[in-house]
Amino acid sequence: MAINYKKELEKAAKGMILVHRPDVLIKMIVRTIVQKARVRHAGILLHDQDKDTYILTVSRGPTGLKIPAGFCRVDKDNPLIRYLSNPSRYNQLGPFLLVRDNLKRLLRRRLLPETKKLAKDILYQMEIFGAQVCIPSFFRQELLGVLFLGDKNNKRPFKQEELDFFFALASDAAMALQNARLFQGLQLQLERNERLFLSTTKALAGAIEAKDHYTRGHTERVTQLSFILGEKLLQKKFSGMTTDFLSELRIAGLLHDIGKIGVPESILNKNGELSDEERRIIQEHPIIGARIIEPIAELSFVAKGVKYHHERYDGRGYPEGLQGDGIPLIAAIIAVADCFDAMTSDRPYRQALTRQQAIEEMLAKKGSQFHPQLVDVFVELYQEGRF
């Protein structure tokens, strides 16, 4: 039975982002590959930040092919790591997704002496690991790890669609792993103090923007606008507003789009209008975001802001179609700030509105899309020159 790789990738990505422990996550990734791709074994060399080396963290396969976790350590000067970290230096080797059989064929060609030696050294490393394929996993420009796969059970060569699946999975795994590491750090920070907690939360928010190229700075701006609006509401003694609420609002603003970690980059960065299916997937991000943070008891107060910031005052929003005062205040505030920043930012399919144009648009949608009292206070802040 043929595997629907697109569907499997989406399922794997959604599963990965809900795992907050790096050790559990990488075991899950390798298990998924062995089961779905039907390979004899697979493993991950993972960068150890403290020792600045790559360690075989997990290896899975039949008895005799497993290598104990931590048994193998690979330094940065290892030819495999050296090439994957900077493939542009060795363009004769081609793309940095390495296939052993392709490498053997490449060695029969006329290569520069330095490149030929490196290719032989890489091939030797792949044979040590019994790897038919080696795939790098990057976060931004950092090589987080190397995924290696043994031969397929049926001994047939890997198809291009399979290799594309592994490469995309490695990319999603890097994001999920960074996410898990940040959450692990976040939980440690919660035991210390609020200042360190906020800095780690900002780093987590930065992981979202590293994936969504068109919203750089969006999270920080939404957080700032939400906080300014919250302060004004507190001054006006708006019902439900307290100084503790302001602290919660700041965290919710930073994490409001955390669920986008579970949305494929091809959709987030699409240069054009989304299809109905793509729109359905991206509209899942508030639910995904809430699922990510709900297990952390110390973040339970922000879950409603994350889950409901795309609800509309008239009940035509998502994910639950809440309306009026049924929308939590923390979410209604973020919704105003989020939409204003979206309207005043360039997108691949339209130019940004001016701030005055965006304010006029919000006034036009007061009571339909937006909480009417929040819009009035937001406009007042604009007229005061607060943003």
Average pLDDT across the chain, whole number: 81
**pLDDT score recorded for residue 215:** 62
% of residues, the chain, pLDDT over 90: 27
Distance CA 133, CA 151 (A): 8
Residue 341: what pLDDT? Answer: 95
Does 383 score more than 90 pLDDT?
Answer: yes
Q: Map residue 294 onto helix, strand or coil.
A: coil
| 314 plus 266 within the same structural domain | yes
Of 60-64, 80-84, 140-144, 363-367, minimum mean pLDDT range: 60-64
**326 located within any domain:** yes
Residue 39 forms part of a structural domain? yes
Same domain for 360 and 307, yes or no, is yes
**Digit-coded pLDDT (tens) for 256-275:** 998 888 788 778 777 778 88
Higher pLDDT, 33 or 123: 123
Locate 208 and state its tokens: 């979202």
Over range 293-309, report the average pLDDT: 84
| pLDDT for 191 beyond 80 | no
Examine the domain organization and report whether 65 and 212 are in the same domain: no
Residues 164 and 247 reside in one and the same domain: no
Does any domain span residue 182? no
Which range among 24-33, 63-72, 178-187, 202-211 shows the weakest confidence by mean pLDDT? 63-72
| In a shared domain, residues 265 and 355 | yes
End-to-end CA distance of the chain: 57
Q: Count CA atoms closer than 13 A to 91's CA, side-chain side.
A: 1
**Highest mean pLDDT: which of 31-40, 191-200, 328-337?**
328-337
Q: How many domains is the chain built from?
A: 2
Q: 362 in a domain, yes or no?
A: yes
> Which amino acid would we find at residue 198?
L
Res 330 pLDDT > 70 = yes
The model's confidence at residue 331, banded by pLDDT at 50, 70 and 90, is very high
Same domain, 244 and 145: no
Q: Which domain holds residue 69?
A: 5-175
pLDDT at 63 over 50: no
- CATH number of the domain bearing residue 115: 3.30.450.40
Tokens of 163: 């290799």
Q: pLDDT value at position 343?
A: 94
Q: Which residue has the higher pLDDT, 84 or 90?
A: 84
Q: Is residue 350 part of a domain?
A: yes
Task: Tell whether 171 and 200 lie within a shared domain.
Answer: no
Are 155 and 207 contained in the same domain? no
pLDDT at 291 over 80: yes
* In a domain? residue 75: yes
In this prediction, residues 161-166 reach a mean pLDDT of 79
Lowest-pLDDT range, 210-219, 365-374, 375-384? 210-219
Q: Using 50, 70 and 90 to split pLDDT, how confident is the model at 344?
A: very high
Q: Are residues 30 and 106 in the same domain?
A: yes
The CATH number covering residue 247 comes to 1.10.3210.10
- Clarify whether residues 164 and 267 are in a common domain: no
Cis ω before 87 (30° cut-off from 0): no
223 and 334 assigned to the same domain = yes
- 212 band by pLDDT with thresholds 50, 70 and 90: low
Q: Percentage helix, strand, coil, to 5, in the chain? A: 60, 10, 30
| Domain stops at, among 114, 142, 175 | 175
Q: For position 2, what pLDDT does the model report? A: 57
13 and 129 assigned to the same domain: yes
